[in-house]
Amino acid sequence: MDWDEMARPWLDAAPDLEASFSDVFKLLFSAANLKAGDKVLDVGCGTGPTLAAASAAVGASGRVLGIDVAPPLITRAAERGLNNVELVVGDAGSYGYEPNSFDAIIANFGIMFFEDNVAAFQTLRKSVRAGGQLTATVWASPAQNPWFSTPRKIVDEFVEDVPRPDPTGPGPMRFADPSTLANYLDKAGWNADIQTHDVLLRPPGPAERVAALHMKVTIGMMLAGMGVEDDKLGSLKRTAARAFAEFENEGAFQVPAKIHLVSGTAR
């Protein structure tokens, strides 16, 4: 895996993605209810948008371990300079955590990419004390999330034979049906409650900037390795700008989204 190449669009897009998901972060931390002194694992921390909030919540007497599989993302996260945060590169679902070493686990869109779900959630279960908490966000279906369905329609309009990911395999929409996730968690030793929430995604405008964000991430991921011509990419970007302009409200962009919120307790 060429991590530098893989991470480049995510590094470029990180500030706008952090702004876009601000309401999702609020939902996550309201449910997690982290306390001073807690020891917290941040699964799939990426460039670290959730690390600062976790760090502040646990204070000087607590600690946060952020883990991500991509070294360039961890390098960016380290630039936040948070004193009570440790960062490691690794697969969060198979990493050798000290048993019973955490009070809580948080994961913002970070649990949908494991190869073996039960084994991964068992690994996470063993890392927390009995009664420890898992709080995570996952996407509902593409049909309920224009953030994904709009770019997909645009790509299909301009490019033929774009591969479709396996909806049950590792990927953003893997747990669109939350009952599947609930089953994995139960098998791995978690009592889990999963609730679906309506939120707003708030990408910075103007519409051309929102389109550029999607050209880096959602559309960029769909077209990875396909060698699409520059003129067609230009058409994709202009069409994306027009499509997302529909979500502008008094100068601010508000894209409706549905998110599943996982609240789990370690048995």
Parent domain of 89 = 3-142+165-201+257-266
Strands 85-89 and 63-68: parallel
Task: Tell me if 131 is assigned to some domain.
Answer: yes
Task: Tell me if 55 is assigned to some domain.
Answer: yes
Task: Tell me if 177 is assigned to some domain.
Answer: yes
Q: What is 41-70 written as a DSSP string?
A: EEET-TT-TTHHHHHHHH-TT-EEEEEES-
Q: How many domains does the chain have?
A: 1
Taking the alpha carbons of 23, 222, 141, 127 in that order, is the dihedral positive or negative?
negative
Task: Tell me if 213 is assigned to some domain.
Answer: no
Task: Tell me if 219 is assigned to some domain.
Answer: no
Better-scored residue on pLDDT, 163 or 56: 56
Task: Tell me if 207 is assigned to some domain.
Answer: no
The answer to whether the pTM exceeds 0.85 is yes
Binned at pLDDT 50, 70 and 90, residue 167 comes out as: confident
Task: Tell me if 120 is assigned to some domain.
Answer: yes
Task: Tell me if 247 is assigned to some domain.
Answer: no
**pLDDT single digits (tens) 175-207:** 999 999 999 999 999 999 999 999 999 999 999
Q: Give the residue-averaged pLDDT of 44-73.
A: 97
The CATH code of the domain that includes 195 is: 3.40.50.150
